[in-house]
Amino acid sequence: MPMKAPTHRDPNVTRGLAATRRAHDHARGTAAQRGYDGKWRVYSKSFLQRHPWCQCDRCKVSSTPLPAQHVDHIIAVNGPRDPLFWRESNHRAMAHACHSRKTAIHDGGFGNAPRAIVAQPGGKQVSGRYVSVHPNYLTRG
Ligand SMILES: [Zn+2]
């Protein structure tokens, strides 16, 4: 009777996505560590009351924009001490689906490779800050 050949799996491969996610979450810190604490929740609630509709590129031009649930940082920030963290001109209301799409594209979710690069000739990392390749986001160095 034929038997299935034994499989030898690399534990790093079989742990795959879950381990990668854990490492990613560990590296970026908790939501509170990243500045999304009670003060942010109060602010974002007030922001969303003033901007109830998604302001993503698709919804902005749509006759049926989605209701916003998140306050997005247009230019990615590096924690609450980043000067752009609290700057209202760097905020936009976004629907959960649109925010997830942006996160997937820019942060490499859903199996996409991260597209974020460093805004520095020669591709060197600038003090740990990554800047999106989107032309609208290349305003800082
Ligand atoms: Zn949207």
- Reported as a single tens digit per residue, the pLDDT across 37-96 is 999 999 999 999 999 999 999 999 999 999 999 999 999 999 999 999 999 999 999 999
When mean pLDDT is compared across 8-12, 30-34, 60-64, 79-83, the lowest value belongs to 8-12
For residue 102, the number of C-alpha atoms closer than 13 Å in the C-beta half-sphere is 24
Domain assignment of residue 127, yes or no: no
Q: What pLDDT score was predicted for residue 22?
A: 77
Domain count across the chain:
1
Phi-psi region of 51 (alpha: psi -120 to 50; beta: other; left: phi over 0): beta
Q: What pLDDT score was predicted for residue 135?
A: 38
Q: Ligand 1 center to residue 68 CA distance, Å?
A: 8
Q: Ligand 1 center to residue 51 CA distance, Å?
A: 12
% of residues, the chain, pLDDT over 90: 44
Domain assignment of residue 44, yes or no: yes
Q: Ligand 1 center to residue 59 CA distance, Å?
A: 4
When mean pLDDT is compared across 9-13, 66-70, 122-126, the lowest value belongs to 122-126
Q: What is the mean pLDDT of residues 94-109?
A: 84
Q: Output 55 or 134, whichever has higher pLDDT.
A: 55
Token pair belonging to 115:
């597209």
Whether 120 shows a pLDDT value over 90: the answer reads: no
Q: What is the pTM of this model?
A: 0.61
Domain assignment of residue 99, yes or no: yes
Q: Are residues 92 and 51 in contact, defined by beta-carbon separation less than 8 angstroms?
A: yes
Q: Ligand 1 center to residue 141 CA distance, Å?
A: 27
Q: What pLDDT score was predicted for residue 141?
A: 37
Token pair belonging to 70:
């998140």
Q: What pLDDT score was predicted for residue 100?
A: 93
Domain of residue 95 covers 33-112
Q: Ligand 1 center to residue 72 CA distance, Å?
A: 11
Domain assignment of residue 79, yes or no: yes
Buried b (16+ CB within 10 A) or exposed e, 105-122: bbbeeeeeeeebebbeee
CA distance 34 to 110: 22
Domain assignment of residue 77, yes or no: yes
Rounded (5°) CA angle 137-139-141: 110
Q: Which residues surround ligand 1, an ion (CB under 5 A)?
A: 54, 56, 59, 95, 98
Buried b (16+ CB within 10 A) or exposed e, 52-62: ebbbbeebeee
Q: What pLDDT score was predicted for residue 18?
A: 78
